[in-house]
Amino acid sequence: AQSVTQLGSHVSVSEGALVLLRCNYSSSVPPYLFWYVQYPNQGLQLLLKYTSAATLVKGINGFEAEFKKSETSFHLTKPSAHMSDAAEYFCAVSSPSGGYQKVTFGIGTKLQVIP
Amino acid sequence: DAGVTQSPTHLIKTRGQQVTLRCSPKSGHDTVSWYQQALGQGPQFIFQYYEEEERQRGNFPDRFSGHQFPNYSSELNVNALLLGDSALYLCASSQDRGPFNYGYTFGSGTRLTVV
């Protein structure tokens, strides 16, 4: 079984401040991990992914995430928030299940950026 | 290069009716997965199609069915609609790589409202 826990359904930061969105996962096998972003009335867009290579992963729009096996975490960070970063962010875990890929999403964290 | 195309974008149906949603995957992708995203929730996996067969299924009743065509496009059918079926339905395409998912490309979704 696999699961994803996103701590904090809403996060508010000031423009220019550090963004930190938390994600912890549970998986019985080494997982692949993802962060997606969803803007209002749109689908999800892949921000970045960890696929068992480098543990520090860089994505689009200046975001990065670090895979920490000992903490079962994959937190998303960005040094300086922009107004355009306001959106909902989803962490997802993927691992083999019955020979096929199984992808599970967290409930999402809504990021508010305050001017 | 066109991404994932979903139609229609919005739909209003009455309880007990049936609905069909359509999805064209990204060029080069052969696997289509359908997700239901209720308001304020993360995407929930409905099922996945590959080579015109349902390969995996989430915890959804048989009222939810699907189909994949030889050109990889897909349909999601929901019978006997309930108020609780109101949600954003997302189509996600990917390239099959066995037990590993390297990330989805999502469509913008179909917003279904059941009244």
Q: What is the DSSP string of B77-113?
A: EE-S--GGG-EEEEEEEE---TT-----EE---EEEE
Residues of chain B with pLDDT under 70: 1-2
Which range is most confident: A26-30, A99-103, B78-82?
Answer: B78-82
Nearest to B22 by CA among B70, B74, B72: B74
Q: Is A85 helix (H, G, I), strand (E, B) or coil?
A: helix
Q: Which residues, in sequence order, are bridge partners of residue B57?
A: B47
> Which stretch of A7-16, A25-34, A63-72, B61-70 has the lowest confidence by average pLDDT?
A25-34
Nearest-by-CA chain B residue for A97: B99
Burial class from Cβ neighbours inside 10 Å (0-12, 13-18, 19+) for residue A110 reads: middle
* DSSP H or E segment with residue B5: strand B5-7
Contact A100 B43 (CB under 8 A): no
How close is the nearest chain B Cα to the Cα of A44, in Å? 6
Q: Which of B89, B91, B72, B74 is nearest to B33 (CA)?
A: B91
Average pLDDT of every residue of chain A = 93
Chain B residues with CB under 8 Å of A97 CB are 56, 99
Q: What is the pLDDT of residue B1?
A: 58
Per CB-CB distance under 8 Å, the chain A contacts of B35 are 105
Enumerate residues 6+ apart whose C-beta is below 8 A from A24. Answer: A4, A5, A7, A71, A72, A73, A74
Interface contact flag, B98 A49, Cβ < 8 Å: no
User: What pLDDT does residue A65 have?
Assistant: 97
- Closest Cα partner for B73 from B20, B106, B26? B26
Q: Are B55 and B48 in contact (CB under 8 A)?
A: yes
Residue B100: the pLDDT is: 78
Alpha-carbon dihedral angle through residues B107, B108, B110, B113, given to the nearest 10 degrees: 150
Chain A residues lying within 8 Å of B40, measured CB to CB: 107-108
Calculate mean pLDDT across residues A28-46: 91
**Are B100 and A100 inside 8 Å of each other by CB?**
no
| Count of CA atoms in the C-beta half-sphere (13 A) of B106 | 23
pLDDT tops 80 at residue A35? yes
Interface A-B: count of C-beta contacts within 8 A = 72
Residue B48 to chain A, least CA–CA distance (Å): 10
Residues B22, B48 contacting (CB under 8 angstroms): no
